[in-house]
Structure 1
Amino acid sequence: MKFNPEEYKYSSRRNVVYGHRGMVATSQPLASQTGLEMLKKGGNAVDAAIATAACLTVVEPTSNGLGSDAFALVWIKDKLHGLNASGYSPSSISMDKLKDRGFNEIPKYGVIPVMVPGAPAAWVELSEKFGKLSLKEVLNPAINYAKNGFTVSVNVKKAWDTSYNIYKKQQGEEFKYWFSTFTKNNKTPEFGELWKLPHHAYTLESIADTNGSSFYKGYIADKIDEFFKKYNGYLSKEDLANYKPEWVEPITVNYRGYDVYEIPPNGQGLVALMALNIIKGFDFSYKDNSDTYHKQIEAIKLAFADGQKYITDSNYMKININKLLSDDYSEKRRKTITDMALMPESGDPNSGGTVYLCTADGDGNMVSYIQSNYMGFGSGIVVPETGIAFANRLHNFSYDNNHDNCLMPNKKTYHTIIPGFLMKDGKAVGPFGVMGGFMQPQGHVQVITNLIDFHMNPQEALDAPRWQWIKGKQIEIEPTVPYHIVNDLIKRGHEVKIQPNLNSFGR
């Protein structure tokens, strides 16, 4: 048979899916099945989320891995809990040291932008606090796929090739271990190929057997420490040993009678909430209206301007979150929106490469969970014989000493990955989320407004064509946005690009 697995000539429609005893939603069918397997074994939504997250490090390593960060919103026993499992910068790093080494900016790739990974600790923390099954049982499906192989899906293959082409351009011996881990004979997998990741299996088994201690305090930590010393990086076994995820109180705004929840900073969920707070003062008559698009885009621009100025590690934030989310401040920002596209500027409230998954069980427990390496596989750094591909989140720090999010030791940076959760009248409606870096708060806003303002069903709310703000007056939109809307947005001063790569709008 001859066919192109990337080509789809005709539009398709998926129906809303209902479930009674549980549900798992992910970007990869094998991972979804893994989560359902945990529910069938008597596990709860938390067990299903951990199993699915671990499985995704194997079957979709192009977007997350054993060196990822993670965030979760957990609804259990009629209460919403927030978990921040993002890592912090190494204790020995500083801007002065990087400048002394000749760096004019924080690099995207290599050992420099690597921070402490948080995802394995998130699995342990979630399992100990809320899980019903043992961590070993929950991680077993991921171990089996890593040992015995999994079929490589279309989007994963495409993303794998993209990373391959990036890393082969990097200079330095330290990058060769990505190729020895993720290629065979210097080739990436083919569509549908059975692919094994034995080093992943080794590390996952170690995490399961030691309840994560080998990764942060044992022989895996020693391997990590040895590697980063060899290649002049900053991550150390002391950094790993001192790491622990944080339970945090979710932040929220009320949007037309619904309570929308996000993880507080250092995550950018605050951007989504600020934007919703601004647009709730507008009356949207219907979706396919250029005025609706324009006002939502302008609100996101204003929210991002504030977010990129103020969001950082919560211990270093100089602005009170409640001020940014106040109705008075939102009204002030709303009044700056006119009929024309504006250049986004931050306000002063004092004066007035990711995988997302969600699970639910028959008892009504739900998990909104996200983990990421950032920029695909991340830094391009893999510790030999461990399968650990490290994220490159340190690249998100500012290189300006005067910026709130400036690089410092033991500090968490502005983080793009965000899980969302929706409630009404104190009751859970459910988890939601999208992927795609800085698209994520924009996707959250669009999904929520589709559901609440335009009464779309959940599948329709995801299928609806999306837009994204890039910078300045630049926006990108999906090709299926009606032409009259595109034309009017251009007249309003937006610099519009039709973007055929739909993955960039948050899968």
Structure 2
Amino acid sequence: MRDFQLPGRSPVYATHGMAATSMPAATLTALDVLRAGGNALDAAVAAVAVQCVIEPQSTGIGGDCFCLYAPSGTGRVIALNGSGRAPAAADIDWYEAHGMQALENTSAHAVTVPGAIGAWETLLKAHGRKGLDELLQPAIRMAAEGWPVHSKVSWDWGRSVDKLRKGGATPFLPNGTAPKAGDRFANPALAETLRLVARHGAKAFYEGPVAADMVGTLRGRGGLHTEQDFAEGLAAAEFVAPITLAWKGYDVYQCPPNGQGLLVLMILGMLGGLPPAPDGATGVIRAHRHIEAARLAYRDRDAFLADPRHADVPVKKLLSAEYLTSQRGLITDAGVIRDLPTAGESELPPHRDTVYLCVVDKDGNACSFINSLYENFGSGILAHGSGVMLHNRGCGFRLQRGHRNCIAPRKRPMHTIIPGMLMKDGRAVMPFGVMGGHYQPMGQSWFLTNFLEYGLDIQESLDLFRVFPTGGKLLVERGVPDELVRELAALGHVPEATERPHGGGQAIWIDHARGCLVAGSEPRKDGLALGY
């Protein structure tokens, strides 16, 4: 239990339904849907649509999504891959002929066909009770009328002014600058696009004037996209078989590659064969072991993770007991692994922006949902006629001929966004996630071990300080105790202060024994958990 004399907040308890998101209005929207007879999936879609309007730096309908859904009473976890594909003309020959060695984050070439809207419709048709016509109404209203900018949103927005100017996103810079906290921001063009989708379904996004606006914008900036690429995007979302690992009496579920959920399972698998650290959740041994397991997992991600339709991704080998045991054997409490190949360090910058939310309804259906533009405001490229900010998820590709993750026609890039689901005895016990792009596997595994191994409550597990190994450095938040930083340095890590906090999580624990829901919400974001 936390010290009530210190800053912080308690877990949230409820009985009939719960939602946890990174924006208060999105959480309230989800509860409104639940109380109006919608299920957890309906509530998640309505909430994320709101976030696409009022948290525009982190997410939007010009982005992608993934979902894990556990229908009550089925013992199943359903996974949906809502990530978009590269244009049909995106062949490595073209990039080599034009002397390109990497994709710039503000280039039209970093934009894949957005997958979110098609994914929302696919999910609702299969498992929802309501349709986009009803669920998009709160988002439409906020886009048309405007909504006050929240503190973290404003903080992020102010760091993206140059990108927005470069992308021609002048409507996102009222009076030439980023809105301040409390300023009301509206996007009437986006409101009209959402009205068309509400009226005609996802087809209105992938075909017709909206698609033409996005394609025209991208081609005007040198992109290879065509209206046919967007038309094919209507059917791009697909249900896939989730991957899972048994860990400490639970079954941890993730979406399979091209997402990086595999790394969560690898980190847990390595740590699971070790006893709890003797110095507890905040001790140097615990932190060091976790950092080392993450370094090994990220090394493998950069070598193997790709679109399985286009490349062999050895998921079974990477999750095998033999492989995880061999990797665990490299970890020693005496110091860092000195000979870890430098090629294993990710070439991607550590910070990306995403929204993660989770919802549990009165029937016990549990939804773990994530939606993203990748970087702050994605590519920064705005399709003015439709009000759609376009993501830059294509930065997950390599322009390296022969690499598993090399860009190719209609191929999905390596994806960072990952929802999580925890099951026990065939029942969902916790939808969870930690947003933050590249950081997410480290964040999810850190949260789970905080909660289930070291005994912190669900809110404390999100609150606890965070560290992240990347690029040969250990990025540490200001909340990491100075003594711990010194001890990690003594073990051979190279601590460096990070300007931005690591990630942002949400989680809902389903306490079947006591008949209640318990939730925590990320203090590094603007949101909260609420239930009824």
Q: TM-score range by the shorter chain?
A: over 0.9
Is 1:67 matched up with 2:62? Answer: yes
Residue 236 of structure 1: aligned partner: 226
Trace 1:239-258 onto structure 2 (pairs within 5 A).
239-243=229-233, 244-258=236-250
**Residue identity in the other structure for 1:335:** G
Trace 1:28-47 onto structure 2 (pairs within 5 A).
28-47=23-42
Residue 289 of structure 2: aligned partner: 295
* 1:327-359 C-alpha deviation (Å, 9 max, x unpaired): 100001111122221253389xxxxx2000111
Residue 363 of structure 2: aligned partner: 363
**Residue identity in the other structure for 2:497:** I
CA distance in 1: counterparts of 2:50 and 2:20, whole angstroms: 13
Whether the aligned pair in 2 keeps the contact of 1:251 and 1:264 (CA below 8 Å) is yes
Residue 476 of structure 1: aligned partner: 475
Q: Return the offset for 1:503.
A: 4.8
Residue 427 of structure 2: aligned partner: 427
Q: How many corresponding residue pairs? A: 485
Q: Which has the higher contact order (CA 8 A, sep 6+)?
A: 2
Q: Return the offset for 1:319.
A: 3.7
Residue 488 of structure 1: aligned partner: 487
Q: Return the offset for 1:16.
A: 0.8
Q: Return the offset for 1:50.
A: 0.4
CA distance in 2: counterparts of 1:266 and 1:281, whole angstroms: 27
Question: Under a length normalisation based on structure 1, what TM-score does the superposition of the two structures give?
Answer: 0.92
CA distance in 2: counterparts of 1:94 and 1:190, whole angstroms: 42
Is 1:124 matched up with 2:121? Answer: yes
Residue 3 of structure 1: aligned partner: none
* 1:438-490 C-alpha deviation (Å, 9 max, x unpaired): 11000001011011111111111101111111123x11222333333222211
Q: Return the offset for 1:228.
A: 2.9
**Relative to 1, partners in 2 of residues 1:344 and 1:166: Cα closer, same or farther, differing over 3 Å?**
farther
Q: Return the offset for 1:504.
A: 5.3
Residue 148 of structure 2: aligned partner: 151
Per mean C-alpha deviation after superposition, the further-off stretch among 334-343 and 71-80 is 334-343
Indicate the percent of aligned positions where both proteins have the same amino acid.
37
Per mean C-alpha deviation after superposition, the further-off stretch among 226-235 and 390-399 is 226-235
**Residue identity in the other structure for 2:251:** D
**Residue identity in the other structure for 1:67:** G
Whether the aligned pair in 1 keeps the contact of 2:164 and 2:172 (CA below 8 Å) is no
Structure 2 spans left out of the alignment, 5+ residues? 345-352, 506-523, 525-532
CA distance in 2: counterparts of 1:147 and 1:500, whole angstroms: 34
**Relative to 1, partners in 2 of residues 1:134 and 1:188: Cα closer, same or farther, differing over 3 Å?**
same
Q: Return the offset for 1:202.
A: 0.7
* 1:102-122 C-alpha deviation (Å, 9 max, x unpaired): 423211112111101011111
Residue 444 of structure 1: aligned partner: 444
SS class of match (1:240):
helix
Q: Return the offset for 1:505.
A: 6.9
Residue 516 of structure 2: aligned partner: none
Per mean C-alpha deviation after superposition, the further-off stretch among 475-484 and 77-86 is 475-484
Residue 77 of structure 2: aligned partner: 80
Trace 1:90-489 onto structure 2 (pairs within 5 A).
90-168=87-165, 170=166, 175-176=167-168, 178-179=169-170, 181-243=171-233, 244-284=236-276, 285=278, 286-338=280-332, 339-342=334-337, 343-345=339-341, 353-472=353-472, 474-489=473-488
SS class of match (2:371):
strand
**Residue identity in the other structure for 1:202:** E
SS class of match (2:421):
strand
**Relative to 1, partners in 2 of residues 1:104 and 1:500: Cα closer, same or farther, differing over 3 Å?**
closer
Whether the aligned pair in 2 keeps the contact of 1:139 and 1:204 (CA below 8 Å) is yes
CA distance in 2: counterparts of 1:320 and 1:498, whole angstroms: 35
CA distance in 1: counterparts of 2:18 and 2:313, whole angstroms: 39
Question: Superposition RMSD on alpha carbons, in Å?
Answer: 1.7
**Relative to 1, partners in 2 of residues 1:336 and 1:37: Cα closer, same or farther, differing over 3 Å?**
same
**Residue identity in the other structure for 2:115:** G
**Residue identity in the other structure for 1:263:** C
**Residue identity in the other structure for 1:230:** G
Whether the aligned pair in 2 keeps the contact of 1:467 and 1:505 (CA below 8 Å) is no
CA distance in 2: counterparts of 1:464 and 1:344, whole angstroms: 28
**Relative to 1, partners in 2 of residues 1:430 and 1:247: Cα closer, same or farther, differing over 3 Å?**
same
Whether the aligned pair in 1 keeps the contact of 2:100 and 2:399 (CA below 8 Å) is no
Question: Under a length normalisation based on structure 2, what TM-score does the superposition of the two structures give?
Answer: 0.88
Is 1:12 matched up with 2:7? Answer: yes
